[in-house]
Amino acid sequence: MRAALEIRRGISESPVTAGEVVSSAQRLQVAAPVSAILVGEQTYRTTREVIDYSEAAPTAAKAGAGAILAWQALAALPRRGVDLVREPRTPLVGRKRELELLVSTLTRAIEERSPQFVTLVGVPGIGKSRLVFELSKRFDQEREQITWRQGRCLSYGDGVSFWALGEIVKAQAGILESDRPDQAEEKLRTAVAALPLTMDEATWVEREIWPLIGSSGERSPEERSEERFAAWRCFLEAMAERKPLVLALEDLHWADDGLLDFLEELADRLRDAPLLVLCAARPEFLERRPAWGGGKTNVLTIALAPLSEDETGQLLEAVLEQRELEAEVREALVARAAGNPLYAEQFARVLEEIGAVQQLPETVQGIIAARIDGLPLADKAVLQDAAVIGKVFWPGAVEAIGDIPNREVRGRLVSLERKEFVQQARRSSVAGEPEYSFRHILLRDVAYAQIPRAARGERHRRAAGWIQSPGRPDDHAEVLAHHYLKALDYTRATEQGDSALAEHARLALRAAGQRALALASYAAAARFYSSALELWPESDAARVSLLVEAGRARHAADGTGIDLLEQAFQQLAADRDLEAAAEVGVDIARRFWLSGDRDRAYEYIDRALALTDDRRDSRSRAYALVERAAYHMNASDNAQASRLAAEALPLTDAPGMDDVRIRALDVLGSSRTFTGNVAGIDDSKQAIALARERNSFSRLIVAELNLHCQLYFLGQLDAATDALTAARQDVERHGTADQRNWLRIAEAHQAILHGRWNAAAEMLEARIAEAEAGLVHYLDPTCHAFTRARETKDPQITAPALALCATVLLTQGRRKQASTLTSEVLACGHVQVAALLELHGAVTPIEFAWLVRDLGREAELLTALESAPPTPWLQAACAIAEHDSAGSLDLVAKIRAPSVDAYARLRAAEEAARSGSHDVAKELLAPALQFFRRVRAARHLAIADGLLAEGT
Ligand SMILES: Nc1ncnc2c1ncn2[C@@H]1O[C@H](COP(=O)(O)OP(=O)(O)OP(=O)(O)O)[C@@H](O)[C@H]1O
Ligand SMILES: [Mg+2]
């Protein structure tokens, strides 16, 4: 569509003639990019609150008429967020410095594209939200250049998972609480499509954002919380890319842990974006997160102090609209308010409404209660019913709770607004309903506290009923569960046990658990599921799936919960629901394996396999096979691994199994390569291509890093470097913390192979610091780490540990012990030696071969490597064992790892020197010396110099 909705007259400001209007409209039409809507200034000014625009290049004018300013409509943007302060009645008092600080921080974020994080901290009513509002007002003029989004954390229980972020997304996409899932989905798609993202990214971002606003959706068997964070980060980054972005997060003290983790990660990982995250929190927040923002240069915490006496006085006078208060009254009120603007406001209002200072209650809650008590009874009832919903509410909900006709509710709200108890939002988040909020949460809290306890249960039940009716129940699951739990608590307290209510409650709790689990808020999910299980009848068939979900949530939250999964496994197996049992079995196995209990892991994976033995075309069968194959691979039993992965692969042709297929190809590729079959590389490349096509980033990154390992194993170091470079981009963008560590270690390892030791040290410094800060095994005098490595029973972990330990022992002259450890490696045959290459062991086969020679055990190495895959690494190791130094050097040269090459030359030169061939030694040493000098390898240089000196 090419369209010009409206036009502006030329800049010359000359009066518009009809002809000009038409021609301007035509010009806008011509200037409008395909599929874009251009509007003129007037439309822009009147609609910029609801539509997001970007400035378009002025349209060329016809002679004399001036250029036409135009804006391109990007998307409908109904709201900046929920619960915004509207124009306050009283002017801002004080807070000059704080406001200036905020202004300059935002300016800096924009001008330097450096993300800034500011947290306003202070007691209730001190003016945090007001400052947020004042900042937004300062930038009102520049509204078209800034996107301002606001979200608040809810005070229910331990917070509603990521609610504030969900509100931000909803505001950005114009999604209403009352929208059906399909409507919400469509709006989200449009909003994401409007962002500067590639098609792939957009699909991914959309998928990962959906649980924030919609249903739990389908889940893959593996949790991917970090991937979700990466996608959300990508979304915010893209928003900021389009226009500088301010995210205002209210009431952070009620945030769930997940949201706080996300924000911390955002502060850590976002480097280059015009973004300000502005949070408001009460002081208890810092008790919860004492290290909030500690040590980061882009994170600032501003503590709001009480207003001065003078400022408090000014505020009182402004509220009372009096030029000067009587000195005595002023003094008394100022003393009571103690610099808290909310208190000052409430004291002033009660004074206005009730009179005489002497009778005033002591606390602000008392004052507010007195004010509420001063209301007509019907107004008071409306206020209390509204308080059941929360800080933000809608007349329809009040109607449902209090059985008051809607018209009457609306009328009473008008009078409550006049008295400054509530305020109406400019736009509502529920279609067809105006939206209101309490002026301050304390007003809501006091109104709620006044409801007799016996009357609360029924009110919460009705609130739940109202919330449940429209929109997307999944998105509101946690809020709903809160109301049902309260309803249950209060009815139980009054001993009116009610089975229908219990049923509603347990269903709501399960849905809440699912929402939280889908958002990877494991602790919250575990809590919801536990409450649901308590209410769930033992005999109900759906209980077993609840056990599974509860177990998963608990295990992810705190490492417990495997017992629940085991219970479910037994139950499912007993019920002959073999498919489900097998999937749970695989899941249990993985959890045992991650906790280092290899034997139990194997026990369960084998049970899962046995269950699906005669179901050769099932999904669970494929899944169990692939996972079994992966265990074999991790145990360096690559022949078995590739056999099982190959068996699984054809089973993954069925639709909906791409995830398993990617994994199958990945495991097949790696295990084939490690058995010396170079076709493995192609399998891995297929896995990578499919993962990329499906936006399955976790799988993609694992496959990419595995491909890098394979190329390294094959001695193709240049190709390995390229693979790592390719992986880096995906890891940086979508990777989990583990994957980032893996990448860094792989990169450090590359650096070592190239002799860039300082760079490697720098890369590893962070890991070392981490280790020093508390890793249990670091510097453990009893060699605990080593014992642990052995306990894993996985060659790829034990082999490097043993080989390294032996090398160190030998340099210390402890030959016998070194020899014992070396025997252990050799005893497992080529598997163990080859395993030195599977992860980035500290010792390569070349170094190990020289160690073996130093110990005089060459024959054993040759026997061990008899059936080893013919990679340059292992062939070179054989050559060294056969005393064919020249041959080994040729093979090493193929690998193109300068540091290994230099080491091999040094050892060969040593040997030559020992046999008196000093010239040969000198010749061998020349390139090595050059390398050692360049990278300042002091120890090796000393040895080389010693050798050269012998020859002269
Ligand atoms: N500096 C100020 N000048 C004038 N009025 C103020 C000032 N600071 C706060 N107020 C008013 O005091 C009331 C309470 O302030 P606000 O809502 O910002 O508190 P808050 O710190 O956000 O509290 P909470 O922790 O409960 O969210 C509001 O009506 C606000 O307009
Ligand atoms: Mg506030």
Ligand 1, closest atom to CA 341?
12
Average pLDDT over residues 751-762: 83
Alpha helices per DSSP H over 812-937:
815-827, 830-835, 845-854, 858-864, 872-881, 885-895, 898-914, 918-934
Residue type, 897: A
Q: Ligand 1: which of 254, 308, 440, 445 to mutate, most ligand atoms within 8 Å of CB?
A: 440
The overall average pLDDT reported for the chain is 84
* Cβ of 129 less than 6 Å from ligand 1: yes
Ligand 1 atom 31, closest CA: 130
* Cβ of 555 less than 6 Å from ligand 1: no
907 Cα–ligand 2 center, Å: 71
* Cβ of 350 less than 6 Å from ligand 1: no
483 Cα–ligand 1 center, Å: 28
Ligand 1, closest atom to CA 304?
21
* Cβ of 339 less than 6 Å from ligand 1: no
Ligand 1 atom 25, closest CA: 124
* Cβ of 441 less than 6 Å from ligand 1: yes
518 Cα–ligand 2 center, Å: 29
Q: Ligand 1: which of 93, 130, 315 to mutate, most ligand atoms within 8 Å of CB?
A: 130
Q: Mean pLDDT check: name the lowest of 203-212, 544-553, 790-799, 855-864.
A: 790-799
Average pLDDT over residues 562-588: 93
| Contact in structure between 513 and 520 (CB atoms under 8 Å) | no
Per residue in 151-183, pLDDT (tens digit) is: 999 887 777 889 899 999 999 988 888 888 888
132 Cα–ligand 1 center, Å: 10
Average pLDDT over residues 379-383: 94
pLDDT at position 48 over 60: no
Q: What share of the chain is helix, strand, coil (3-state, %, to 5)?
A: 65, 5, 30
pLDDT at position 74 over 80: no
Contacts of 722 (CB under 8 A, 6+ apart): none
DSSP of 444-461, one letter per residue?
Answer: HHHHHHTS-HHHHHHHHH
Name the percent of the chain lying above pLDDT 90. 42
* Cβ of 336 less than 6 Å from ligand 1: no
Confidence grade of residue 838 (pLDDT, cut at 50, 70, 90): confident
From residue 207, give the alpha-carbon distance in Å to each of 89, 142, 486, 923.
43, 32, 33, 61
Ligand 1, closest atom to CA 95?
1
Name the percent of the chain lying above pLDDT 70. 85
* Cβ of 282 less than 6 Å from ligand 1: yes
83 Cα–ligand 1 center, Å: 14
pLDDT of residue 296: 81
Residue 806 to residue 422: CA distance in whole angstroms: 75
Residue 878 to residue 436: CA distance in whole angstroms: 79
* Cβ of 130 less than 6 Å from ligand 1: yes
- For residue 69, give the 3-state DSSP assignment: strand
187 Cα–ligand 2 center, Å: 29
**Quick one: which H or E segment has residue 75?**
strand 68-76
Residue 924 to residue 244: CA distance in whole angstroms: 60
Average pLDDT over residues 66-85: 60
Confidence grade of residue 618 (pLDDT, cut at 50, 70, 90): confident
| Contact in structure between 223 and 126 (CB atoms under 8 Å) | no
* Cβ of 342 less than 6 Å from ligand 1: yes
340 Cα–ligand 1 center, Å: 8
Ligand 1, closest atom to CA 318?
4
Residue 369 to residue 361: CA distance in whole angstroms: 9
pLDDT of residue 55: 65
Ligand 1 atom 6, closest CA: 341
* Cβ of 302 less than 6 Å from ligand 1: no
pLDDT at position 609 over 60: yes
Ligand 1, closest atom to CA 440?
17
Q: If you search the block for the tokens 């329809």, which residue do you land on?
A: 396
pLDDT at position 25 over 50: no
97 Cα–ligand 2 center, Å: 19
* Cβ of 124 less than 6 Å from ligand 1: yes
Q: Which residues surround ligand 2, an ion (CB under 5 A)?
A: 128-129
Ligand nearest 131 Cα, by number? Answer: 1
* Cβ of 273 less than 6 Å from ligand 1: no
* Cβ of 457 less than 6 Å from ligand 1: no
pLDDT at position 15 over 50: no
**Quick one: which H or E segment has residue 300?**
strand 299-303
415 Cα–ligand 1 center, Å: 22
Phi-psi bin for 881: left (phi > 0), alpha (psi -120 to 50), beta? alpha
Ligand 1, closest atom to CA 126?
21
94 Cα–ligand 2 center, Å: 17
Which pairs from 448-455 meet CB under 8 Å and 24+ separation?
448/384, 448/387, 448/388, 449/365, 449/369, 450/369, 450/372, 450/380, 450/384, 451/384, 451/387, 451/388, 453/490, 453/493, 453/494, 454/490, 454/494
pLDDT of residue 426: 78
Ligand 1 atom 13, closest CA: 342
Q: Ligand 1: which of 98, 249, 342, 441 to mutate, most ligand atoms within 8 Å of CB?
A: 342
pLDDT of residue 278: 96
* Cβ of 253 less than 6 Å from ligand 1: no
Q: Which of 31-45, 147-161, 310-324, 850-864 has the highest mean pLDDT?
A: 850-864
* Cβ of 315 less than 6 Å from ligand 1: yes
Q: Which candidate, 858, 855, 950, places its Cα nearest to that of 909?
A: 950
- For residue 436, give the 3-state DSSP assignment: strand
Ligand 1, closest atom to CA 88?
31
Contacts of 22 (CB under 8 A, 6+ apart): none
214: DSSP letter: S
Confidence grade of residue 270 (pLDDT, cut at 50, 70, 90): confident
pLDDT at position 935 over 90: no
pLDDT of residue 225: 63
Based on C-alpha coordinates, what's the Rg of the chain?
A: 34
Per residue in 872-925, pLDDT (tens digit) is: 999 999 999 999 999 999 999 998 889 999 999 999 999 999 888 999 999 999
Average pLDDT over residues 328-333: 83
Residue 194 to residue 176: CA distance in whole angstroms: 19
pLDDT at position 57 over 90: no
From residue 190, give the alpha-carbon distance in Å to each of 44, 175, 181.
21, 11, 14
Phi/psi at 720 (5° precision) = -60, -40
Average pLDDT over residues 249-264: 91
Residue 554 to residue 542: CA distance in whole angstroms: 19
Tokens of 248: 């205002």
pLDDT of residue 765: 75
Ligand 1, closest atom to CA 130?
18
From residue 383, give the alpha-carbon distance in Å to each of 421, 723, 831.
8, 63, 74
Residue 66 to residue 61: CA distance in whole angstroms: 5
Ligand nearest 343 Cα, by number? Answer: 1
Residue 951 to residue 947: CA distance in whole angstroms: 7
pLDDT at position 5 over 50: no
Contacts of 608 (CB under 8 A, 6+ apart): 581, 582, 583, 585, 586, 589, 620, 624, 627
pLDDT at position 213 over 80: yes
pLDDT of residue 763: 78
365 Cα–ligand 1 center, Å: 15
* Cβ of 280 less than 6 Å from ligand 1: yes
Q: Ligand 1: which of 83, 95, 129 to mutate, most ligand atoms within 8 Å of CB?
A: 129
* Cβ of 306 less than 6 Å from ligand 1: no
Q: Mean pLDDT check: name the lowest of 709-713, 804-808, 880-884.
A: 804-808
Residue 908 to residue 886: CA distance in whole angstroms: 8
pLDDT at position 24 over 50: no
pLDDT of residue 469: 74
The more confident residue out of 60 and 876 is 876
Q: At what angle do helices 619-634 and 638-648 cross, to 10 degrees?
A: 160
pLDDT of residue 695: 81
Residue 79 to residue 148: CA distance in whole angstroms: 9
132 Cα–ligand 2 center, Å: 9
950 Cα–ligand 1 center, Å: 83
pLDDT of residue 249: 95
pLDDT at position 688 over 80: yes
125 Cα–ligand 2 center, Å: 7
pLDDT of residue 777: 37
pLDDT at position 471 over 80: no
pLDDT of residue 687: 96
pLDDT of residue 4: 32
Average pLDDT over residues 240-261: 92
* Cβ of 88 less than 6 Å from ligand 1: yes
pLDDT of residue 496: 61
Contacts of 680 (CB under 8 A, 6+ apart): 642, 668, 669, 670, 671, 672, 673, 674, 710
Q: Mean pLDDT check: name the lowest of 680-684, 714-718, 767-771.
A: 767-771
